[in-house]
Each structure stands twice: as structure tokens, then as C-alpha cells.
Amino acid sequence: MSWNLPPETHVETTLAPGRRADWVSLSKFRLQAVIGVYPHERLHPQPVDIDLTMQLDTRAAAVSLNLAKSVDYAKVARDLRLLLQGARFHLLETAAEAVAALLLAPFPDRARPEAVQVKLCKPSALDGLATPSVAIYRTRGDFEFLPGEHNGETRIFASADVKISLVDTGGERSLAITRLGDREFLTRPTQVFDFPDDFEPSGTGSILTSTDVVTPQV
């Protein structure tokens, strides 16, 4: 499978009939994250490689020079880092599904893709013997984005180990992440969170912000 040129049989688009869709790609993006089911994988981050493509019409951005009509690579990279480092997924399959949902969610400051392809790899998982990976293709219709319990909240994704929402906090969009039903916190666009294992919320249903913050280099 080519990640820059998806199979035409899988493409679903609202573009004019007969016109081939455009794709914006982000390749060979590596970050450190906790993804895995084994004890050593839960204790220490490991490298995760990301390749993705987003299907959207780039003509409006091309003629207007308005990046909001396309996709800002820096913002996408930042969102991926916040999601994957904050959620601490147990399975690559779950992580890939959450990434696809995040990319297809309605963001106010970027064009919304019609479809995405996501590939995640763990190059160090098998000590170099092989590289496990998961690749998925999703369209907007594969997800249901519903209002959440908090004002300005849109539910993006939920699984057995994590719930993820997009929250508009006075014009600043953030990700609200709940891990395992007992760790809930709100990320900011300029922050990356690495919570200690003994982190606990101070109240039921509260959204917390960590004091352990570093600025992502993207």
C-alpha cells in the first residue's frame, strides 16, 4: 500500500465528480510514548513512528494562501504528541483509531479531511528482530462526534482504556483525556504532559492540568 497515493477503490469524497482528491501527508514522525500491554511497556516510553495522509481539497488554500483552508503540519504534529503521550494506550490498534478520530474531528482552525490513513510502528518493541505496526483507513462517516458534558466539549473517541474530547476554552482548543476512568486532565496546545504513575484527580469529574509541562519541539 502506498501512503502517498491511496487506492482509488477506497476513496470517498465530496469533490466534484471526476476530480481526484488531494492528500496532505506527514511521514516519519517519531515521538516517545507509552503504548503496550506488558509491564515494561507501561513503565517506560518507547519510540513510536507515525505516517499519515489526510484527504482534502487543497485548492482553496493554494489560491488564497490561507493555511486554515488546508492543514498546518506543526499543529497536527503537536496534537499527535499531546494525544499519544497523554493517553498511554495499551494497543497500537487503539492508538491508531484515536489518531484517525482526532484528525477527522471538526477543528475550527483547519480544514476537515474527508478521510485519513494512519500507520503506527513500534521499532523497539521486539529488540530489532522485527517492527510491529498497525495501519488503518477511516472516513468521517466512521466516527460520531457528539457534544460532551462540559461547555464547548466535543467527544472524539472512547475505548476501554481512554476517553478523548476536544474542548474549546475561550478560543483555545484543548484535548481532555481520561485514562482508565480515574485520570482526567486537560491538555493545552503548547503543552506536553508526562504524568507520574501515582497521579490522581483531586475531585470526581474534575478536569486537571499537570504542573509537569514541557514545550514540544515541533
Beta-carbon neighbour count of residue 171 at 10 Å?
A: 8
- Give pLDDT, residue 182: 54
The distance in angstroms from the start CA to the end CA of the chain is 28
Residue 201 clears pLDDT 60, i.e. is over it: no
**Mind listing the domains of the chain with CATH numbers?**
9-13+16-214 (3.30.1130.10)
- Give pLDDT, residue 110: 80
Per-residue pLDDT tens over the stretch 55-91: 988 888 888 888 878 888 888 898 899 899 989 999 9
**Which are the catalytic amino acids?**
122
Per-residue pLDDT tens over the stretch 2-36: 434 344 334 344 445 556 678 999 999 999 999 99
- Give pLDDT, residue 127: 85
- pTM, whole model, 2 decimals? 0.77
Q: How far is 59 from 168, CA to CA, in rounded Å?
A: 28
Per-residue pLDDT tens over the stretch 102-130: 999 988 778 889 999 999 999 998 887 89
The mean per-residue pLDDT over the stretch 165-172 comes to: 78
